[in-house]
Structure 1
Amino acid sequence: MFTLAVRSLRRRMSAFTASFLAVFLGAVLVMAFGSLSDTGGAEGVSDTDQETLVTMSTVVGGWGLALVAFAVTSTLTLSVRQRATEMALLKSVGATPAQLRRMILGEAALLALAGALTAVPAGALAGRGLLALLKSTDQVADDVAFAYGPVALGTGLGVTVLGAAGAALLTARRVARMRVVEALGSTADASSGSGRMGRGRITAGVLFLLGGLHLSVMAAVAGPEGFDSMQFAGSADILFGIGMAFFAPVLVRWATAVLAPPVERFGGVSGYLAVLNLRQRTAQLAAAMTPVILFVGISVGTLWMQVIQNDANAAAGVVTNAEDEAIETLNLVVTGMVVLFACIMLVNTLVAVTAHRRREFGQQRLAGATRRQLLGMVVLEGAVLTAAGLAFGTVAALPTVLPFSHAKTDSWLPDPEWGIWLGTAAVAVVVTLVALLGSSRRALRAPAAEAVAVAA
């Protein structure tokens, strides 16, 4: 089965691209922040510089670690679940559930190792950039030498490999249990279905939500002095966003129930097909909405938090000093790295989800749907998912914004920042629609009969 896993990777490189990019980018982000701990632990580094470097590595790198682990796990899970028919064929010719699990685990392990090892030089380059930023903002001394050692490599390799292995094991268990007839059915694509959630997923979602709320409480009671409230609040929206992402199938059903009537009424044939897919392919579309929630929650929460900090300083008559400006610059750059990762994962997931629908598009065209109607269907699906992602992402930002506002201004309701929200919404809409339309056009290039035959 390991040999079969190697052959599967070789023959399905395009199908594994999304998973490889998730592993690679996640490892780069984790290794970059992990290198700060290596740098702080080197000989000759002062206690002050060491505290700054290790704190940034553990606090910022810690919630970045959770985001990366979730992204790697969700992407690999989607990749494996989309191959339920292939797994059923293997079972029909005699493969046992244990053999399928070993094959999937072998694929995930090889993919994770390839992505993580490829990320080593890029992680070192990103780590050097972070250290240079800290020096330019006077957070650490100019004579601190960059170190790239066991913490960076251990966390980068460990998170990606363990995350990939965990995702493979959980998904392989579900696929191995699936009946052959069920998986070979016309609607048994792994991306279809009602998106029912197991107890493990519900438990994980609740734990992340509670973790986000706990950090929110700590941010609210931290007080206006210092930057403790910012550290706690900055992590809250990530944990809360991940927690909401675990419940994405339920959120998709809620959004569909609210938006289905106007989409069907004004969308014509495309609207009817879009609503039909939203109701029948909940699991796949939930995977597409997840990165929208994370992108919006992190962007709106962090940028709004920085505006609250600046307004609080201005209201108190505090003259912004070099340290405040340095921390603001650092927050924006670090947040930009995490938001960029979330944005890339948004494109990555949307392309992976849409590219897998080649057979579905072919069947709909054979049934009489035109290319224009199918593109309209994809646009309307994207519009529903984006609208829902914006709404739930904004909710995910509240555990950051509200307690931080209370800590700094003694008011739970900060002034609205429509510019931040509209800017984030514009980026989410453009990225989502461009990714969906681009991948859909490629999926529609082949003749309908050929697409059905090849995908089958």
Structure 2
Amino acid sequence: MIRIAMRSFAHHRATAIATGLVALVGTILVTGMMSLLGTGLAQSTAAADRAFLVQFPLIMGGWAVAIVLFAMVSTISVALGGRAGEIAGIRLIGAGPRQVQQLLAIETAAVSAVTALPGLAGGYLVGWIVMRGVHAAGLTDAASVFAPGVLLPVLGMLVVLAASVLAAWMGSRTLAHRSPVADASPPPRRRTVRRPERRRRIAATIIIAAGLASSAAVFAMDPADVLTTAMTGPGCVLVAAGLCILAPELVVTANTTLSAFRRAQATAPSRLAAINLAVAPDRVRPTVTFLTLFVGVAAGTLSMQGIENSAGTANGTAQVLASINYFVVALIAAFMAIALTNNLVASITRRRSEFATMSLIGATGAQTQRMLVREIGTAAAISTVAGSVGAFVTVLPFAVVKTGNPLQAAAPLPHAVTIVVGIGVTLGVTSVVGRRVIRQA
């Protein structure tokens, strides 16, 4: 099994690179937080700085692990979609579903292992940059030097490796258990909801409820308490993650929106985009997942920090939180941009035969390009709306407690910047990659 996995790993280089980039940046994020945690637990750290250097990495590290798991599951699911024929062939020669899952888990473990050491080195660098910024601002005691140790950063690296294997196991479950001779076309619509879909919706509801509860807990806290920020941040992440799990429902909403637009402007690209969203919604599901998560986390965190700054809190811990929040949001934004780009490239490249067929029946390259842009653009629009609403709802209690004005949660600048960056990356990658693939089809 290991020998087969290594041969498959060498054959699918593009997939390995995409998965490796996600694992690399995820390892940098997690080990960076673990290096700060190691510094907080070190004996050389001043007692006054220990609480922050322990609490903050634990919170941020939890966010990073959850986001890495989401990114790995989505990336692996998209990559495996292009290997359905290969996996069906493996099943036909006698491999069982668990053997297929083991094969794909070993492949992912190999990719993650290759990126582990560079990610560990990057994590040390991130932790050192954060500690240097804190020292330069004079917000921590000179005795609190950067002392991450070895155990905790390596533990963070192993956590990402385990999350990658778990993501491969989860992402390959549906494809591995599919009959190799079953019809690959989508099943007819039924009024009854299947059990996996029901479980997914229940899980999404629980996660969203937990995020809202975390944000609402701020109402019982002192406005000057740092825990208000510590409770609102995870709330943003949980609500955004819950909305990501509801990506299929968001795609249906996007298709409804596109259908209304199609009735107003009956153009061929609009009709084709609506048909694609209705028949094969999984093509845009990664876009909806990552863009919703990006907008929800980035807009929520930036709005929360903007409210904190306007409230005039001047204590050292609050200033540290402001600097680190901006830095971590930038890292998460870069991570989500890489994951989103990888998934867009994989999903668009996989449609080369479809674009070739469209060319044979008379569609021009420009028409196919417009169809693709409108398809992805509609998914991006519903994602930004969902992410913005989630960010507003979770930051609302924080705004009321800090300023007494609930409208502060709808700060236009953080939402506008986040939306422009997210949609710019999405449509930019779609246009460039789509044009290249359509020309080659």
**Map of 2:291 onto structure 1:** 292
Question: What does 1:259-408 correspond to in 2, within 5 Å?
Answer: 259-263=258-262, 265-266=264-265, 268-313=267-312, 320=314, 324-408=318-402
Deviations 1:22-72 (A, max 9, x none): 111111100001101111222322222222211111122222222222222
Residue 68 (structure 2) aligns with = 68
Change in 2 beyond 3 A, CA 1:95/1:325:
closer
Mean CA deviation greater in 432-441 or 160-169: 160-169
Q: Distance in 2 between matches of 1:252 and 1:123?
A: 36
2:119 corresponds in structure 1 to: 119
Matched-pair identity in %: 29
Tell me the equivalent position of 1:150: 151
CA distance in 1, matches of 2:374, 2:200: 28
Deviations 1:140-197 (A, max 9, x none): 2234133242222212222x222222222233332232122336x5x479xxxxx985
- Over residues 392-450 of structure 1, what are the superposed CA-to-partner deviations in whole Å (9 max), with x where a residue is unaligned? 0112202432010121123434374223322222212211111111221232232x4xx
Q: Which residue, out of 417, 427, 433, partners 1:433?
A: 427
Return the letter of the residue paired with 2:222: G
Deviation at 1:12, TM superposition (A): 1.0
Structure 2: any 5+ residue segments left out of the alignment? 188-192
Q: CA deviation at 1:308?
A: 1.9
Q: The residue matched to 1:180 in structure 2 has which SS?
A: coil
Letter matched to residue 153 of structure 2: A
Deviates more, 1:208-217 or 1:76-85: 76-85
- Native 8 Å contact 1:34 1:61 kept in 2: yes
CA distance in 1, matches of 2:156, 2:407: 38
CA contact (8 A) 1:240 1:399 kept: no
Could you tell me how far apart the structure 2 residues matched to 1:416 and 1:325 are? 22
For 1:207 and 1:130, the matched residues in 2 are separated by 34
CA-CA distance at 1:267 after TM superposition: 6.1
Tell me which residue corresponds to 1:13.
Answer: 13
Contact 1:131 1:146 in 2 (8 A): no
Which one is further off, 136-145 or 38-47?
Answer: 136-145
Conserved 8 A contact 1:236-1:399:
no
**Partners in 2 of 1:260 and 1:113 — Cα distance?**
45
1:235 counterpart residue number: 234
Q: Number of aligned pairs?
A: 434
Q: What is the DSSP-based 3-state SS (H/G/I as helix, E as strand, rest coil) of the residue aligned with 2:181?
A: helix
Native 8 Å contact 1:264 1:271 kept in 2: no
Q: Give the CA deviation at 1:353.
A: 1.9
Distance 1:345 1:213, change over 3 A: same
Give the C-alpha shift of residue 200 in structure 1.
4.3
Contact 2:35 2:152 in 1 (8 A): yes
Query: Are 2:222 and 1:223 equivalent residues in the alignment?
Result: yes
Read off the aligned partner of 1:244 and give its amino acid letter.
Answer: L
- Is residue 26–residue 72 contact of structure 1 (8 Å, CA) maintained in 2? no
| Residue in structure 2 matched with residue 47 of structure 1 by the alignment | 47
Provide the secondary structure at the position in 2 that maps to 1:57.
helix
Work out the CA distance in 2 between the residues paired with 1:211 and 1:293: 18
In 2, the alpha carbon distance for the partners of 1:400 and 1:139 equals 29
- Once superposed, what is the RMSD of the aligned Cα atoms? 2.3
In 1, Cα distance between equivalents of 2:268 and 2:83 = 29
Instruction: Give the Å deviation of 1:130.
Output: 1.5
Letter in 1 for 2:228: S
Letter paired with 1:147: P
Asked if structure 1 preserves the Cα contact closer than 8 Å seen for 2:208 and 2:243, the reply is yes
Counterpart of 1:243 in 2: which secondary structure? helix
8 A contact 1:237–1:298 mirrored in 2: yes
